[in-house]
Amino acid sequence: MEQRSPDQLVEWAYDQFLEQAADMLAPEQIVDITLEFEQRGAVEATLPNADWSTELGVPVDMERWAEVWVGLLDHQEEFEVIYATYLLPRSQSEHEVHVRWHRQQQA
């Protein structure tokens, strides 16, 4: 079974993000992304958080899934803001995508 590389997972998540962000995020967030992504933007693959099992209805298989974060980094190169979190299948034959959009709360 052919597996996607971390780079392929990151690229896939970022493509999905670009297609959907304007519809899913607040206008202020889109402005922030547009102005700051080149300098501070990051897309990073990581091990999936176990809380995805609530949405999936089954425990998250770490071998089957990868989590990808899209957001902005702070001055210490750590995520300051996460705009979207993706759960993507590692297998090239699977195409099921789960996403959580993190909309800013207005004060």
User: Quick one: pLDDT band at residue 105, thresholds 50, 70, 90?
Assistant: low
In a domain, 53, yes or no: yes
The total of structural domains in the chain comes to 1
Range of the domain at 19: 6-101
What percent of the chain has pLDDT above 90? 93
Per residue in 8-28, pLDDT (tens digit) is 999 999 999 999 999 999 999
CATH number reported for the structural domain that contains residue 68 in this entry: 3.10.450.140
In a domain, 35, yes or no: yes
How many CB atoms are closer than 10 A to CB 46? 12
In a domain, 107, yes or no: no
Q: Rounded distance, CA 88 to CA 18, Å?
A: 16
User: Quick one: pLDDT band at residue 106, thresholds 50, 70, 90?
Assistant: very low
pLDDT at 87 over 50: yes
In a domain, 72, yes or no: yes
Token pair listed for 63: 């071998």
The whole-model pTM stands at: 0.92
Q: Rounded distance, CA 39 to CA 58, Å?
A: 38
In a domain, 106, yes or no: no
- Return the H-helix or E-strand segment holding 21: helix 6-24
pLDDT at 91 over 70: yes
| Cα distances (angstroms) measured from residue 69 to each of 2, 53, 79 | 23, 17, 9
